[in-house]
Structure 1
Amino acid sequence: MSKFENVTAVKEANIYHNGNVTSRTLEFSDGTTKSLGIMLPGEYTFGTNEAEIMEMLSGELDIKLPGEDWKTLNTPETFNVPANSSFDLKIKTVTDYCCSYIK
């Protein structure tokens, strides 16, 4: 799906890691949320409350999910992140992503 329709966009940006990772939250009528963002090259650790599905729209990165070894992902890729966990990323090229939050 290349576009979302009938959504509310939260005006304020989510800014992480000194501005190297930014996203905007989208709210859907069914109560679900997604974020659309950009990650600049660098190394980052993220924590989760909810389970997430991360869809890479462009870019290349290395990822270390809980209990797994590092692996390289290239666009297009999708990966799942468990709730109440953390994961590590090494962003190699500017990476555009869509994150779906699973309740």
Structure 2
Amino acid sequence: MEFKNVTVTKKANVYFDGKVVSYTLTFDDGSTKTLGFMQVGDYTFNTGVAEVMEFLSGELSVELPNQKEPLIIHEKAIFEVPANALFTLHVKTCASYCCSYVK
């Protein structure tokens, strides 16, 4: 994965006592993504806008709204989360991800 013509915010987004850390990328058109890393643990997030989550490495399960069964991820996967929703990740091995925000 490679991005061109982006601005990177140097200050990290730190969640869950530093167990989840990401950096914000802003593109010329004003769109944003975050690139991040998660340590082993359980994390619940609340979305403001719809998101497309792309996992690049790691093993985890994801509890998504309106889904009866968790999504099981081994290394790479992409999934969508609706706006104003909660979703929970159960990270079994350290994982890296890219989150795109849908406007």
Runs of 4 or more off by more than 3 Å in structure 1?
none
Within a 5 Å distance, the mapping from 1:53-92 to structure 2 comes to 53-68=52-67, 69-92=69-92
TM-score, structure 1 normalization: 0.96
Unaligned runs of 5+ in 1: none
Unaligned runs of 5+ in 2: none
TM-score, structure 2 normalization: 0.96
The alignment partner of 2:97 has SS state of: strand
Q: How many pairs does the alignment contain?
A: 102
The one-letter code matched in structure 1 to 2:80 is N
* CA displacement at 1:67 relative to structure 2: 1.6
Report the identity percentage.
Answer: 51
In 2, Cα distance between the equivalents of 1:44 and 1:92?
A: 11
CA RMSD of the aligned region, Å? 0.7
In 2, Cα distance between the equivalents of 1:70 and 1:54?
A: 15
The one-letter code matched in structure 2 to 1:39 is M
* CA displacement at 1:70 relative to structure 2: 1.8
In 1, Cα distance between the equivalents of 2:12 and 2:75?
A: 24
The Cα offsets for residues 30-66 of structure 1, whole Å up to 9 and x where unpaired, read as 1100000000000010000010000001111010001
Provide the residue aligned with 2:41 in structure 1: 42
